[in-house]
Amino acid sequence: NMKTTTLVATALHIAATLAAVPGFDISHYQGTVNFNGAYSSGARFVIIKATEGTTYTDPKFSDNYVGATNAGFIRGAYHFARPDGGSGTTQAQFFHSHGGGWSGDGITLPGMLDIEYGPTSTCYGLSTTAMVNWITDFVNEYHALTTRYPLIYTTNDWWNTCTGNTNKFSTTCPLVLARYSSSVGTIPGGWPFQTIWQFNDQYAYGGDSDTFNGNAANLKKLATG
């Protein structure tokens, strides 16, 4: 019966909304971030830019990490991948030694590999095979250094274009999917679902708006491993 179907659909939507945990991600481009305001509004996690390539460290990383910690967030770091400048292995090492490490303290997310459209070219001059190999090297080195697999941040279009839509990481690396829309859209790479959805590049307290696909206990589990 139609009425029952509608009620069930509504209940499922409410349940899904309740299970989501708000969060955000930031880099030095944001300037000042209002961590206490964000926490008061219900946000519970923040992902902070630490590094890019093999030489760049975000000048606000330390301030942001301390600010996030003091405000009570579960927090983690991210690395902006530059496959045109240094191997995946080297970049994982650089990230790990400049803020991208992990500890089982219950408030640290595994590091995130931000791999997307490049400032030089969409796929950084790499074939899909070479790109998959680069990501594999980064992922394996990060796992060797931390015992955790990194989160992978990307878009459906980039993943299809530059990796040939490989599903190689779908069972190990949680997906952070960027899509600025009212729905998450097509999920690439054989991932069964997104772990985090970046749905807007505006956030009232600084940075981009994210939502964690689960409840607070699931978020804690992602942090602790």
Q: Which pLDDT value is given to residue 8?
A: 58
Catalytic residue among 25, 52, 58, 210: 25
Pairing of the two strands 56-57 and 208-212: unpaired
Q: Which pLDDT value is given to residue 7?
A: 59
Domains of the chain: 23-224 (3.20.20.80)
Q: Residue 99, class by beta-carbon neighbours within 10 Å (0-12 exposed, 13-18 middle, 19+ buried)? A: buried
Q: Residue 4, class by beta-carbon neighbours within 10 Å (0-12 exposed, 13-18 middle, 19+ buried)? A: exposed
Is 12 or 138 the better-scoring residue by pLDDT? Answer: 138
Q: Which pLDDT value is given to residue 10?
A: 55
Per-residue pLDDT at 65 exceeds 60: yes
Residue-wise DSSP of 11-34: HHHHHHHHH-EEEEEE-GGG-S--
Q: Which pLDDT value is given to residue 5?
A: 56
Tens digits of residue pLDDT in 71-110:
999 999 999 999 999 999 999 999 999 999 999 999 999 9
Catalytic residue among 63, 84, 116, 157: 116
Work out the average pLDDT over 151-175: 98
Q: Which pLDDT value is given to residue 122?
A: 94
Is 25 a residue of the active site?
A: yes
Is 2 or 25 the better-scoring residue by pLDDT? Answer: 25
Q: Which residues of 184-217 are buried (b: 16+ CB within 10 A; e: fewer)?
A: beebbbebeebbbbbbeeebebbbbbbbbbbeee
